[in-house]
Structure 1
Amino acid sequence: MTSDLQTGRPRGHDFQQRPLSPTEARVLGTLMEKARTVPDSYPLTLNTLVTGCNQKSSREPVMNLPDAAVLQALDELRSLHMVLEGSGSRVTRYEHNFTRAVGVPDQSAVLLGMLMLRGPQTAGELRLNTERWYKFLDIASVDGFLEELQDRSAEKGGPLVVKLPRAPGAREQRWAHLLCGPVDATALAAASATPGGAATEDELIALTRRIAALENTVSTLQDQLQNLHEQLGLSQPGQP
């Protein structure tokens, strides 16, 4: 299978040959996140990428990936034209090529990246959680891009998201990405079930906003600390 050397986009959508592994999805999602939230330190070094993959905030599930696993994932993603390796620096740096490789608009890539990092979410949650990446006008616009991804034709590679059945006690349906292959929609919907009569919709929105703001603050501080360590030539936090 050939690729367009000018755009870096694979012809025939190489990434559809097989589903991504959870590690590959985490590496790809982290590169997509940092490209938008810390552009000054992007592309990422291996150390910074590993730290971002394993951070405790804004991740579901939380992972503890070793360097070797991240390197292997990078190799696989490069073969799918979804990651590019930079040159001309004393340290190898990595950047994603997701939008071109998959052939989706930036807004759709933002939603897919967030789903890879944080698992199934409602359109409202996605709008709040992606505010540092891209500011969607309203929930309806988020729904529109998700529906386009769900209705994606077979000629373009097929659907990239699925809308899960409404879970018992839930007011809204959640969306899940399909980059790692088909999902057990029933099991995922059941896992999101909330106790009956819990909070009102307004209370849930307010709580989601507070959590998103706190997570964004923590993520920003972590990114700034990583960038400072990199500029000073020090080891990353938590590393010898």
Structure 2
Amino acid sequence: MQLTAIEVRVLGALIEKEITTPEYYPLSLNALLAACNQKSSRDPVMTLEEADVRTALRSLEDAELVSVDHGSRVQRYEHRARTVFQLRRDETALLALLLLRGPQTPGELRSRADRMHSFDGLDAVVSALSRMCAPTEQRAEPIAVLLARQPGSKEQRYAHTLGDPAELAVAAATTAAVPVEASGGASLAGRVSQLEAEVADLKAAVQRLVEQLGG
């Protein structure tokens, strides 16, 4: 399954709002548009139009990831990700964060998940991510992947697998930090070397992702 960036944002927003504001869920089109364009807890920040969200909703409905509630004057939308991917509550919260904010470390995910799920510790986060990285009897393909560790980073990052693998590589590259040497700044040669290493790591990560998704 390869969703566009807008479809990823729409699905992530629906999952998030179901958990954090159940009193307003399912969402109207206007509420969903506002959630997609929210400036906090989003990476990247988007400025979508109503037509963009409508198009994404139609595609997600065709993929059975979204359903429409016709029980009121205003159409309302709800996700079906938990059913389609056979997710537990903790896994659903992590998927929402990965959809809305891109690749993240277990520590980042734990600190950002408070409103959706309270994890006992990093081990609980890693355990949930490990389940998401493995196929199951109900889910033939993994919905998360472990990225290669970036130079200077202590923790590896995880990403969802629902988008385009090429977009995943770009997202991983744009969120990677280049460490600065203690002497007061990295030399040009050092920075080039670090970037080359990052590109090699990203190529390896994309290759692993392609292999996990069946080529």
The correspondence for 2:86, drawn from 103, 110, 119, is: 103
**May I ask how many residue pairs the two structures share in their alignment?**
181
Counterpart in the other structure of 1:57: 40
Whichever residue aligns with residue 47 of structure 1, its letter is N
Report whether the alignment pairs 1:148 with 2:131.
Answer: yes
1:121 pairs, out of 72, 79, 104, with: 104
Write the mapping of 1:159-178 to structure 2, written as runs, cut at 5 A: 159-178=142-161
Whole-angstrom distance in 1 between the partners of 2:139 and 2:128: 15
In structure 2, distance between residues paired with 1:83 and 1:116: 15
**Alpha carbons 1:170, 1:194 under 8 Å: kept:** no
Distance 2:4 2:90 in 1: 23
Q: Distance in 1 between matches of 2:25 and 2:75?
A: 12
Correspondence 1:188 to 2:172: yes
Corresponding residue for residue 34 of structure 1: 17
Give the aligned partner of residue 131 of structure 1.
114
Per-residue CA deviations over 1:40-70 (Å, capped at 9, x if unaligned) read 1111110110011011110011111110110
| Other structure's SS at 1:94 match | strand
- The whole-number CA distance in structure 1 between the counterparts of 2:139 and 2:27 is 30
Q: CA deviation at 1:149?
A: 1.3
The runs of 5 or more residues in structure 2 that have no matched partner are 183-215
For the aligned residue pairs, the C-alpha RMSD in angstroms reads: 2.1
Distance 2:50 2:8 in 1: 15
| Inter-CA distance 91–190: structure 2 relative to 1 (3 Å threshold) | closer
Distance 1:139-1:28 versus aligned 2 partners, 3 A rule: same
Secondary structure of 2:151 counterpart: coil
Write out per-residue CA displacement over residues 153-211 of structure 1, whole angstroms, 9 at most, x where no aligned residue. Answer: 5872222111111111212111111011435559725741243368xxxxxxxxxxxxx
Equivalent residue of 2:78, what SS? strand
Give structure 1 stretches of 5+ with no counterpart. Answer: 1-17, 199-240
Give 1:67's match in structure 2, choosing from 19, 43, 50: 50
- Which residue identity is paired with 1:33? E
TM-score, normalised relative to structure 2: 0.78
* Residue in structure 2 matched with residue 20 of structure 1 by the alignment: 3
- Structure 1 runs (4+) greater than 6 angstroms displaced: none
Q: Percent identity of the aligned residues?
A: 43
TM-score normalised by L of structure 1: 0.70
Q: Say which SS state the counterpart of residue 84 (structure 2) adopts.
A: helix
Question: Which letter maps to 1:54?
Answer: N
Q: Say which SS state the counterpart of residue 67 (structure 2) adopts.
A: strand
Aligned-residue offset at 1:132: 0.2
1:221-232 matches, within 5 Å, as: none
